Amino acid sequence: MKRLLIVIAAALSLVSCGGGFTSAERKVIYAGEGDIMRVLSIDNKADSLTLRRESLPVEEAMVQSEEFLHLCNRMLATVQNPDNEGVGIAAPQVGILRRIVAVQRFDKEGHPFEFFINPEIVEYEGQTLLGSEGCLSVPDISDDVERWQRIRLRYRDEAFAEREEVIEGFTAVIFQHEIDHLDGVLFIDYIK
């Protein structure tokens, strides 16, 4: 009986700890007023150091948590902020070093934003092209970056099911940019 109570207590502690998010992550997820989160900027030394770190994988328990839903809603509000609008955002840009990105799908009708968990590019295909890029975390800078025009992407969806798809054109460029954020890479690293 005592062993059963210990197991139940351990299980409850996992549920109460936010589905795997750390207390520091939960603090960032719920910080501030309103839905728009503070975007980290290379203009701030501490932010810059965070943006250069590699993100950790998302665990299935996190995806099923209230914190995950709240984070996704706030990331979406942040990337769609009319004062600083973007076409994609990665969790590290709002201070969460987890492998989550939101990308506007210009390859789909209505150009919806979708979330991708633990995304990885498993194959680059076709040709590369130069195209102008900017970044919410790199204010007032844009420049040409060479990116692949077709990628094969493997990721987990919001139900944590594994998916794979081929993505082309501008949407493929957005994915490359956002996945770079998960590895601590910024588009300015490609500028010659």
Helix (H) or strand (E) segment spanning residue 56: none
Beta strands 88-90; 138-156: pairing state? unpaired
- Rounded distance between C-alpha atoms, residue 99 and residue 110, angstroms: 25
What tokens were used for 104?
Answer: 């506007």
Q: How many CB atoms within 10 Å of residue 93?
A: 26
Catalytic residue among 25, 67, 133, 178: 178
- Rounded distance between C-alpha atoms, residue 62 and residue 17, angstroms: 10
User: Is 109 one of the catalytic residues?
Assistant: no
- Rounded distance between C-alpha atoms, residue 158 and residue 117, angstroms: 7
- Please say whether the beta carbons of 97 and 62 come within 8 A: no
Catalytic residue positions?
A: 178
